[in-house]
Structures are given as structure tokens and as C-alpha cells.
Structure 1
Amino acid sequence: MKKTNRISLLKYWTTRYVATLVLGLIVVTVLSVAWIQHTIIDNRLEISEFIAEELANRIAGSQQGKDAPSINKNTLKNRDKFLQSERPPAIYITDATGRVLSTNQSSGPYSLESFPRSLLKEDKDVLKYPTGTDDARVWLIKKPIKVDDVVFGWVVMLQSENEVGNVTEEYRLLAILIVSLGLFGWAAIYILSRRLSKPISQVAEAAKQIQEGNYNVRLPEHTKEQEVYDLVYSFKEMAQKLQQLEALRAELLAGVTHELKTPVTSISGLIQAVKDGVVTGDEAEEFLDVSLKETAKMQKMINDLLEFNSFTANALPVTIEEHSVNELMTDVVHQWKIGQELEHLTLDLTRLQQDRVIYTDSVRLQQIIINLLNNAKHAVETEGRIEITLTEQEGHMLFIEVKDNGSGIPEAEQELIFERFYRGDNKKYKVRGLGLGLPFSKLLANTLDGDLILKESSSLGTTFLIQLPLADE
């Protein structure tokens, strides 16, 4: 077999999450860069447009009664501070013809003496302006200086496209955010994966201990995650169940050995006594009769074991036929009564008020009923009473209740009565057997599309319930 290289759950999830996280962050970064680039340019142009308009309004307010606009040098200086950047925008105050009256540019690529009048009269206030220099394209923002709807001049701002689109600071903040998200995301999935993998590792370690025969495993008691809690709780229940089954297996071996050894020893002693002439005549005949009865009991136990094994291996045939419920149950009860001594036992059968048809295997159903009746007979003392009640329930279901007034099944044993080879403490010393009656009956009921359950049991008696589907009307 080819060896498979396996990795831990912690490493598996963290590496794949990091890869997914990195891919997602790359996509987010690309989209964020595009969005920042577009948004920052629009915002800066809007701010520049607002400043140009505010500056034009202020100049216009100071030009009442004057022929040409003028500008206070401190005003331009204040706007430079407001728009402070690596290269402040060039601000020009022109007259109506476009001749520059004042500027914050003493030299440099944007030192101009005038602007084309046709350019200033463009409808758009934000334009691309060819400077004729080696710089990239330049944004031109213009606002008219109006006094009584008369244009006295213009406020013009020139900004390099590189300066407007310079988002280095924003990119730096974006990089810090992306890296932080990546680190926090990886830390979160690492912590969560470690939290989830720890109990799973403990369960795996406990499984190895059970494999070695140690059923006393320790697992965390308090787990907040529902699925992990269900896993741990189910595993602990399984470990306890396996421990019980292991004890039952050992008890079974001793029980089967004892149950088979006892009749063999009895038969051997009785036949040896007849052979040696220790007993003769009628007494010898009685010894032989006892030996035959013991042989029959031993044969029954062996047949039960073989039949149970055949049924669990799906090798036992089941024949489904149409039957009348009342007629079938009457025949089953009658046949059981014939072979029993019922001096101190009363058996009552309550039939359906309206007879119904059922498709079932009469032989297998009879096995279930007879096994329950035999158990009820063993459970009752003097003045015992067994009641069989037939009822029709919703969903075309037939309920067969077998109730006795015996001593009942101890509460600690009620969950184990359908386990293979399990026999209660009280039954071990009263009735010989292998503990296959109830498990076999439940398997038969399941095969007939029904079920066999313990409805209730107390010191006042025990009630078993057989559920079987009725034929549609």
C-alpha cells in the first residue's frame, strides 16, 4: 500500500486559510488602489475648485468700485498653506483678458504672464492645460471674479497631474491596513484551529488507548462548541459501552460454558449410573427421561445460538403472507397455552374491535410472542397474570402489548436487556439460557418492518410493546 503523507489539522487549516487570505487581500488591494486613485483625484480637484471659487469671491468683494482686480499677498500665502504639498499649486490672478496680475510663482515651470482668453471662456472650470514643459499633463482650475455680473478677472490654479494623483500616504495607510488584517486573520484562524484540533487530538489519542484495551479514557468535560461536545460526549459513551460489552463478553464466555457444562455433566452422570447398574427398572427409565430432557434443553440453547447467528448474517428466511390479526393472535396464544402448565397463571387476550389484515411472517411473529410469554411466565410468582392487548394506532400501526404483574426489571438493567447474551442477575439463577431471546425478538420485529420496545417496568410488572404495520384498507 502506498504510504500517504498526512499533515496535522492545525497546519492543514492555517496554511490553506493563509493562502485564501492572501489571495483575497490581493484582490482587495487591487480594487482599493483603483478606488483610492479615482476618489482622491476627484476629491482634490473638487477642493481646488472650491478654493479657487472662494478666492474669486473674496477678491470680487474687495473690488467694489475698482477697475481691475488686485490681491493681497497674504491671501495667496494663506491658500498655499491650506494646499500645502510637496509642490504647492500655482495660483494666478488675471484680469478679464487673461493677463496675470498676481501669482505665487516667482519662477519654475508654471511661471506665466498670461492665459489665452479662449481658454478662460471654456464652459468647463476644470481642464487639462498644455504647459509646453517636460512635466506631465497639468490640471487647470479656473473661476471668474465677478462684480455685478461683470467679469473683472479670473482665479486660475495649475496643478501637476502627478501631484494630484500622488496618493503615497494613502497607499502607506492601505498597506498597513492590509498587513494588519493579514496578521490578525492568520492569528485568529491559528487560535481557532488549535482550539478545535486539540479535543480532536485527544479523542484520537483516546481511541488508541481503547485499541490497546484501556477503556478508562479522559476527555475534556466542558466544551463550548456543540459539534465538538457531541463528538467528545459520543466517544465517551462509546468507550463506556465498549467497556460494558467487554465485561459482558467475559461474562458470556463463563455463562455459556456453565450453561452447556451443567446439562452435559448431568447427562453424563445419569447415563453412567444406568450403565453401571446403579439404578435399574423404573428408576433407570426415569434417569433416561431426565437425560433426554436435559439433552433437549441443551439442543435448544445451541439452536438458539445458531439461529441468532444465521439471522444476524441475513441467512434466515422470512416469508411474508396475508393474515387476519385476531385469528393469528388467537392461534399463537392457544398453541402456547397447550404446552404450558398454567395452574397459577391467567392469560387474557384482548382482540381488535374491528379485525384487520396484516402482511407478516406468522412463524417469526409467533417466535416473538412466545419468547415474551415465556419471559412473563418466569417473572410472575403465584397468582400471576399476563395480558395481551391488541390496538390499532394512527398511521395503520398495530400495537401488541404483553403485560405481566411480575417483579419487574431493575432500572439499571433496562437499557441492557436488548444486548446480545445479556442476562439479568435475577434471571441467571432461575432460568437457564444464553440471553438471546429479547435481542433475537427485536431483530425479528425490525425485519418485519416493526419494532419491539420495553414500554415500562416496575415492581408492579412489565409491559413490552410490539409495533407492526397493518395493511392499507
Structure 2
Amino acid sequence: MYTQQAKRSSLLRYWTTRYALTLVIGLAIILIVSVLWIRHSTLENNLNLNKYMAEEIADRMENSIANDSGGPLKIFPNILEDRSKILNSKKEPSLYIVNENGKVIFSNVRSPGVINSFVSSSFFSSKDTVKKFRLDSPPYDIYVVKSAIEMENGEKGWVLVVQPEKELTEVHQEYSLLLIMIISLGLLGWGAIYFLSRKLTSPIQDVSKAAKRIEAGLYDVNLSENVPQQEMYELIHSFKEMAQKLERLESLRAELLAGVTHELKTPVTSISGLLQAVKDDVVTGEEAKEFLDISVKETSKLQNMIGDLLDFNAFTAQAIPINIETHDALDLVKEITYQWHLAQGNEALSYDINATNKSILVDVDPMRFQQIMTNLLNNAKHAMKESGHITIECSESLTQLLITVTNNGPPISEEEQPFIFDRFFRGEKKKYEVRGLGLGLPFSQMLARAMNGDLFLQSSSNEGTSFTITLPLHTD
């Protein structure tokens, strides 16, 4: 069945485009808000200037009327010229002087009567000094600012400053500066985003390339751990460790295939040769019986190796049940050790058990515990070359029983200690001196953990090697 593959982009392109889009949207919002704020501020400032100009003209009109010194014809030109210079405005506002009846008595526009078409008498009587009006033809908004001309005997009229909203909000230089600033921020932000994203994605791309090499079966990964980010360092460090472990597992797999073939082939070849010799009457009598005994022992070893392999696989697949029972730990240790030592029939092997005389109850599967102890005792025997002394110490903490099995044989090398619980691993010396598949310790550790305990290497030196089993104490 054909499945269309989703189109994918590089990590650098994916994030830079999204960061850039987010940046553009953010700057666009800032631009819009800034334009509205500048427009509003400009409107307020210009209206305040118009108020100031209206009040100033009203004051001058009051003085002019009181002193009879020329009236509005002398006042208007100076006021409008000064305001135009201050605002750098191309268009002057429309100015009107109306009497107390609302009639225009002076203006700087050609058709002063137009003011009466939208300014009603109610505006003069209201307390509002600024009001916005809507004109219909052509449609646009204007603002009217008024200031009363007051004399001792009352109001003599008003000064009106009229200007379209478009002129009051018209700015150019501020918008240009704002646009330059926004564009500069956008380019700077995009450059920073691109640089940082490239710096972040570069080690990820290196890890991706290294993963492809591993996929091709090449484990010589060369990744630099000189990165400032903690998470990136942990990723690269973990990846390199994974690559090294995969390389070692691949080596173990090849070694296992050769080792298992050799370990299984050796007893089969031996049994086949011995039985063939008996069949062909090459040996007879007692010698033939001895050959048959050897064949039986080799068959037993072969069965044990196959049994270990099957048990390990079954336990890994959680197909072997664990039956937890409450037992006296010291009785179990003594009984298992005695039976094991009796089966060895070797006086050169000795042991002792160091423990208190009080009973220690633990929750344990006795059969699985026996498997762990037997494996540790067998390993101790092999390490001591069939002769030596084994010490078993039992102690307890608040929640656990600790059983330490120590032999006085040669130590495990420091290079091999981290791998002794890896499946199918066997040390260099043991590989050639002792038959096996390298499943004893990992299988024993799995059994201990299945009983809510653990198995670990306590120490290994010239004084001996110690393995410790932990088991949970029984609680009522």
C-alpha cells in the first residue's frame, strides 16, 4: 500500500520561518498601535495649540476693544504666522470671530458664513470648548475650538478656530522614523533569530548525521561535547554513550554467536566422539563405561547451558512466575550453602557464614533465591581455581537484608567491572577457562529485582571479590 510521505523542511528553515513570522506579526501590531498613538497624541497636541491660540486671540481682542487699538485686522496675521512657524504647518486653520448673537464679524476665509451651517447656537451656550462636527459634502470631520471674549459687562462674542481632523492628525516625519525603526528591528531580529537557530540546530544536525552512520552499521561517532547548552550537552553525551554501547553490543553479538556455537559444539563433538568410540569397539569394558560416564556429564553440561538460555529468555519475556513467601533468611542461606558444598565434593573449598543467631524474616521466592546463591557460589569457585575460602555475611538495615558473598580469588579487572551484569558478557580470562554463556550474573540480578531486591558488585581487589544481594524484610 502506497503512503504519501509528508513534506518536511529542515529544522533551521522550520524555526526561522516561524520565528520570523512571529516577529513580523509582533512588529506589525507595534506599528499599528504606535501609529494610532502618534495620531492621537498629534491630535491632542494640535487641539491644545488651537485652544491656546483661541484664548490668546480672545485676550488680544479684549485688550483691543478696551483700548480701541485696531481690532482683529491687526491681530490675525501675527497669530497665524507665529503658529505656522511653530507647527511647520502648510495650511493655516480657519479663524472666526462671532458676536454674542453667533454672527460672524470677522474671518480669514472667503466664505465666513459657512460656519453657521454646522455650528449651532447650543454650542456657544455649552461649556464645551472643543467639539467635533461631521460635514456631509464632501464627508469629513472637523474640530471647532472656541474661546469667549469677555468684557466687564459680559460676553461680547467668541473666537472660533476651525480645522479638519485630517490636518490636525497629519504627520510625516514621525511615521517615517517609526517605519525605519520597525524595519531595522525586523532585520535585526530576523538576523539574531537566524544566527541563534543555526547555532542551535548545528549540533542537532551533527547528531542526525551520526545516527545515519549508526544505521549503516558504522559506530565511530565523532561528536564534539563542547557546547554551552546543558540539554544539548546531555543529548550529545548520551548519544555517544549509546553509540559506544551499541558498538559493544554488536561486538558481543558477534562474539556470542561464535561463543554459543563453540560452547554448544564442544560437548556435542565430545559426546559424538566418545559414543562413536564405544560403538566401534575402540574401547571396551571399564574404559567404555568411563567413556559413557563422560558422555553423560557432557550431556548434563549441554542441558544446563540450554536451560540457562531458555530460562533467561523466558524470564526476560516475564514468562516465569515469582512466588513470594516468608522465610528465615539465615536458615535458607545455611541450607543452600551446605547443599552446594556437599555437591562439590572438594575439601579444598571451605566456607563460613557470619551472622547473628536471631532469625531474620524476608519475603522471597526460595527456589529463585537458591538459583542466585548457587550462581554466586559457582562463580566464587571458578575465580579461586577450585580451591580457597568463601565468606558469607548476613546483615540487615531498616528495610532490607544484605547477604554478601566474598571469595579470596583474583580480582575482576576495572575495565570489565562495568559490564559484568551485561548479558552474554564474559571476561577475557573466564572466556577461555570456564564454559558458559555469560548469563549467570544478569539472570541472577533480574531474579533479585523481581523479588524487590537487587544484586550488585560490592568490591573487587587483591583481597577478594564481594557480591551483595539485597532482599526486603518481612513486614507484618
TM-score, normalised by the number of residues in structure 1 = 0.83
Residue by residue over 1:334-355, the C-alpha shift from the partner in whole angstroms, topping out at 9 and shown as x without a partner, is 2222222453444233446764
The equivalent residue for 2:140 is 136
- 2:236 corresponds to 1:232: yes
With over 3 angstroms needed to count, the CA separation of the structure-2 counterparts of 1:52 and 1:353, relative to structure 1, is farther
The equivalent residue for 1:400 is 403
Q: Tell me how far apart the structure 1 counterparts of residues 49 and 391 of structure 2 sit (CA, whole Å).
A: 96
Residue by residue over 1:353-400, the C-alpha shift from the partner in whole angstroms, topping out at 9 and shown as x without a partner, is 764443332111211111112112222369733333333334x33333
Question: CA contact under 8 A between 1:60 and 1:147: conserved in structure 2?
Answer: no
Question: CA contact under 8 A between 1:63 and 1:147: conserved in structure 2?
Answer: no
Q: How far did 1:129 drift?
A: 6.0
What is the one-letter code of the residue matched to 1:402?
V
Q: How far did 1:130 drift?
A: 8.0
Question: CA contact under 8 A between 1:110 and 1:131: conserved in structure 2?
Answer: no
How do residues 51-200 of structure 1 correspond to structure 2 at under 5 angstroms?
51-53=53-55, 59=60, 66=67, 71=75, 73-91=77-95, 105=108, 107-108=109-110, 119-120=123-124, 122-128=126-132, 136-144=140-148, 156-167=160-171, 170-200=174-204
Question: CA contact under 8 A between 2:104 and 2:113: conserved in structure 1?
Answer: no
Q: How far did 1:81 drift?
A: 0.9
- 2:352 corresponds to 1:348: yes
Q: Tell me how far apart the structure 1 counterparts of residues 67 and 358 of structure 2 sit (CA, whole Å).
A: 118
With over 3 angstroms needed to count, the CA separation of the structure-2 counterparts of 1:25 and 1:354, relative to structure 1, is farther
Q: How far did 1:169 drift?
A: 5.1
The equivalent residue for 2:464 is 461
- 2:62 corresponds to 1:45: no
What is the one-letter code of the residue matched to 1:71?
I
SS across alignment from 1:318: coil
Of the structure 1 ranges 205-214 and 46-55, higher mean CA displacement relative to structure 2 is found in 46-55
Of the structure 1 ranges 315-324 and 169-178, higher mean CA displacement relative to structure 2 is found in 169-178
With over 3 angstroms needed to count, the CA separation of the structure-2 counterparts of 1:406 and 1:455, relative to structure 1, is same
RMSD of the alignment, in Å?
3.8
Question: CA contact under 8 A between 1:76 and 1:91: conserved in structure 2?
Answer: no
- 2:25 corresponds to 1:13: no
Q: Tell me how far apart the structure 1 counterparts of residues 318 and 178 of structure 2 sit (CA, whole Å).
A: 68
Question: Which of 378, 382, 385 is matched with 2:382 structurally?
Answer: 378
Q: How far did 1:251 drift?
A: 1.9
SS across alignment from 1:412: coil
Question: Which of 202, 208, 217 is matched with 1:204 structurally?
Answer: 208
Q: How far did 1:163 drift?
A: 1.2
Question: CA contact under 8 A between 2:325 and 2:364: conserved in structure 1?
Answer: yes
Question: CA contact under 8 A between 2:411 and 2:460: conserved in structure 1?
Answer: yes
Identity value in percent:
48
SS across alignment from 1:202: helix
Q: Tell me how far apart the structure 1 counterparts of residues 170 and 257 of structure 2 sit (CA, whole Å).
A: 87
What is the one-letter code of the residue matched to 1:380?
M
The equivalent residue for 1:366 is 370
Question: Which of 389, 412, 417 is matched with 2:415 structurally?
Answer: 412
Q: How far did 1:246 drift?
A: 1.6
The equivalent residue for 2:394 is 390
With over 3 angstroms needed to count, the CA separation of the structure-2 counterparts of 1:95 and 1:80, relative to structure 1, is farther
Q: Tell me how far apart the structure 2 counterparts of residues 246 and 131 of structure 1 sit (CA, whole Å).
A: 88
Q: Tell me how far apart the structure 2 counterparts of residues 161 and 177 of structure 1 sit (CA, whole Å).
A: 26
Of the structure 1 ranges 300-309 and 216-225, higher mean CA displacement relative to structure 2 is found in 216-225
Residue by residue over 1:305-353, the C-alpha shift from the partner in whole angstroms, topping out at 9 and shown as x without a partner, is 2222222232223323332333333322222222224534442334467
Question: CA contact under 8 A between 1:71 and 1:102: conserved in structure 2?
Answer: no
Of the structure 1 ranges 157-166 and 142-151, higher mean CA displacement relative to structure 2 is found in 142-151
Question: CA contact under 8 A between 2:410 and 2:462: conserved in structure 1?
Answer: yes
With over 3 angstroms needed to count, the CA separation of the structure-2 counterparts of 1:41 and 1:252, relative to structure 1, is same
Residue by residue over 1:155-193, the C-alpha shift from the partner in whole angstroms, topping out at 9 and shown as x without a partner, is 542221221233555555555555555544444444444
How do residues 236-247 of structure 1 correspond to structure 2 at under 5 angstroms?
236-247=240-251
Unaligned runs of 5+ in 2: none
Q: Tell me how far apart the structure 1 counterparts of residues 266 and 137 of structure 2 sit (CA, whole Å).
A: 118
Q: How far did 1:209 drift?
A: 2.0
With over 3 angstroms needed to count, the CA separation of the structure-2 counterparts of 1:324 and 1:62, relative to structure 1, is farther
Q: Tell me how far apart the structure 1 counterparts of residues 198 and 421 of structure 2 sit (CA, whole Å).
A: 41
How do residues 215-294 of structure 1 correspond to structure 2 at under 5 angstroms?
215-294=219-298
Q: Tell me how far apart the structure 2 counterparts of residues 314 and 113 of structure 1 sit (CA, whole Å).
A: 97
SS across alignment from 1:359: strand
With over 3 angstroms needed to count, the CA separation of the structure-2 counterparts of 1:342 and 1:64, relative to structure 1, is farther
With over 3 angstroms needed to count, the CA separation of the structure-2 counterparts of 1:259 and 1:158, relative to structure 1, is same
What is the one-letter code of the residue matched to 1:418?
F
Q: How far did 1:146 drift?
A: 6.9
Q: Tell me how far apart the structure 2 counterparts of residues 311 and 320 of structure 1 sit (CA, whole Å).
A: 16
Q: Tell me how far apart the structure 2 counterparts of residues 207 and 335 of structure 1 sit (CA, whole Å).
A: 52
Q: How far did 1:16 drift?
A: 4.1
Question: CA contact under 8 A between 2:84 and 2:90: conserved in structure 1?
Answer: no
Residue by residue over 1:233-277, the C-alpha shift from the partner in whole angstroms, topping out at 9 and shown as x without a partner, is 222211111111122222222222332333334334444444555
Question: CA contact under 8 A between 1:100 and 1:112: conserved in structure 2?
Answer: no
Q: How far did 1:413 drift?
A: 0.5
Q: Tell me how far apart the structure 1 counterparts of residues 284 and 153 of structure 2 sit (CA, whole Å).
A: 150
The equivalent residue for 1:470 is 473
Of the structure 1 ranges 11-20 and 402-411, higher mean CA displacement relative to structure 2 is found in 11-20
Q: How far did 1:437 drift?
A: 0.5
Q: How far did 1:213 drift?
A: 1.8
The equivalent residue for 1:4 is 5
Question: CA contact under 8 A between 1:60 and 1:146: conserved in structure 2?
Answer: no
Residue by residue over 1:395-434, the C-alpha shift from the partner in whole angstroms, topping out at 9 and shown as x without a partner, is x333332233332211111111111111101212332211
Question: Which of 304, 311, 314 is matched with 1:300 structurally?
Answer: 304
TM-score, normalised by the number of residues in structure 2 = 0.82
Q: Tell me how far apart the structure 2 counterparts of residues 368 and 327 of structure 1 sit (CA, whole Å).
A: 16
SS across alignment from 1:141: strand
